[in-house]
Structure 1
Amino acid sequence: MSIRFHAASGQRCNRYLLMRHGHSQANAQHLIISTPGRGLASFGLSEQGEAQLKALLAAWRWPAPTRILHSDFLRTTETAGRVAAHFGLELQPEPRLRERNFGAFEGLADSHYHDVWVHDARDPEHREYGVESVASVAARMQGVVASLEQSLRDETVLLVSHGDPLQIMLTALEGRLLSKHRDREPLLPASITVLD
């Protein structure tokens, strides 16, 4: 079964920059850290991630954000904090931007992502291994943008999140089948994507 979200139509009231967190300790250890129990207080940025952010901020080429919302996991909070300090902005935690919950694979090797993605391609509503479904991730991520569109005008909003949720949101906003979210070029750590 495949689900298609209709692409957002018309002009948005705000501009959005989507940022994946910098390289993290979980990335360095090749671990899946996807639950608040582990992700909120542990597995922050690695030395490589710190260096990525320093280079990114030194060569910033996007519109300057006027507001920053971030997943409250440590790696995204630290990433958002570096950007906020650079631009003199406050941080706003947004739990809907959290990592996708990978269920039974929590704390295991990141090679298990592939096991989930195989099921994603067949059914974006699946919850095999106790994972959060692609459809659920798409709904909560799109909900962030929808609520910002109702409450803000003419802001440049930086949303700091995680690889899978951002890829799923982009797929949904483009009106593509959610089962195809892994067909997108993977978002690299500390990368920024402008939401057109």
Structure 2
Amino acid sequence: MITLPFHTNRYFILRHGHSTANEQGLIVSSPENGIGNWGLSETGKEEVTRSVTRAADEGLFNSLIKPVVVCSPFLRTMETADIAAKILKAERFSDANLRERFFGEFDLKESGLYEKGWAFDETNPDHTEFGVESVSSVAARMVEVVKRTGRRYNEKDIILVTHGDPGQILQCVFDGIDPAKHRSISPLETAEIRPVPSR
């Protein structure tokens, strides 16, 4: 089981807002396709603004210390992070380890094909069926982000702007759940902010 290093920060997962890929029902999982294209839809921009503003107004973040926003380099997460950082007046930078889980031969195909990759996850977190990145690989790189930010910051609110599978896999690590069971937890909705650990 992958474990987290000691840290003094509070972590939050923010899934990107509704994207043009979501709009078209497509899987966009490779950096080649996701970094320069497939940003937020207008709906996505609006829902990120609402979500982050509401979280700030409700006191989810420490108002005495500016948070840090760390994001996947994909266009949809960069645009989400830009909106969040502007609202929160936060420092923002990208980390490639927060990128989308690569879905191999299903990249740029219809999103219903996610199910084919997920079907193998719970029984084998190391599987790479159809060229899909393994759960174990995603978990390891997501934990690396926590390690890096834990070394760089102390007692900060750190918002990790990422994607559905990586976010849920990281939540499992924070919650002490086998990451292979990431589909058994409540799905991260677009623009949802989730404190971790969640319990």
Considering only aligned residues, what root-mean-square deviation do their CA atoms show, in Å? 1.5
Which residue of structure 2 aligns with residue 35 of structure 1?
30
Gaps spanning 5+ residues in structure 1: where? none
Please tell me whether residue 102 in structure 1 is matched to residue 103 in structure 2.
Answer: yes
Deviations 1:140-165 (A, max 9, x none): 00111012112211111111000000
Aligned length: 191
Contact 1:20-1:191 at 8 Å conserved across structures: yes
2:2 to 1, 5, 8: 5
Contact 1:123-1:179 at 8 Å conserved across structures: yes
Gaps spanning 5+ residues in structure 2: where? none
SS at match of 2:85: helix
Contact 2:2-2:140 at 8 Å conserved across structures: no
CA separation in 2, counterparts of 1:140 and 1:67? Answer: 19
Contact 1:5-1:176 at 8 Å conserved across structures: no
Contact 1:5-1:173 at 8 Å conserved across structures: no
Deviation, 1:9, is 7.5
CA separation in 2, counterparts of 1:168 and 1:68? Answer: 19
> More displaced, 36-45 or 175-184?
175-184
SS at match of 2:115: helix
Contact 2:16-2:48 at 8 Å conserved across structures: no
Deviations 1:30-52 (A, max 9, x none): 10000111100111001111120
Identity of aligned residues (%): 38
Which residue of structure 2 aligns with residue 127 of structure 1?
128
Which residue of structure 2 aligns with residue 136 of structure 1?
137
SS at match of 2:142: helix
Q: Given the two structures, how large is their TM-score scaled by the length of structure 1?
A: 0.92
Please tell me whether residue 79 in structure 1 is matched to residue 77 in structure 2.
Answer: no
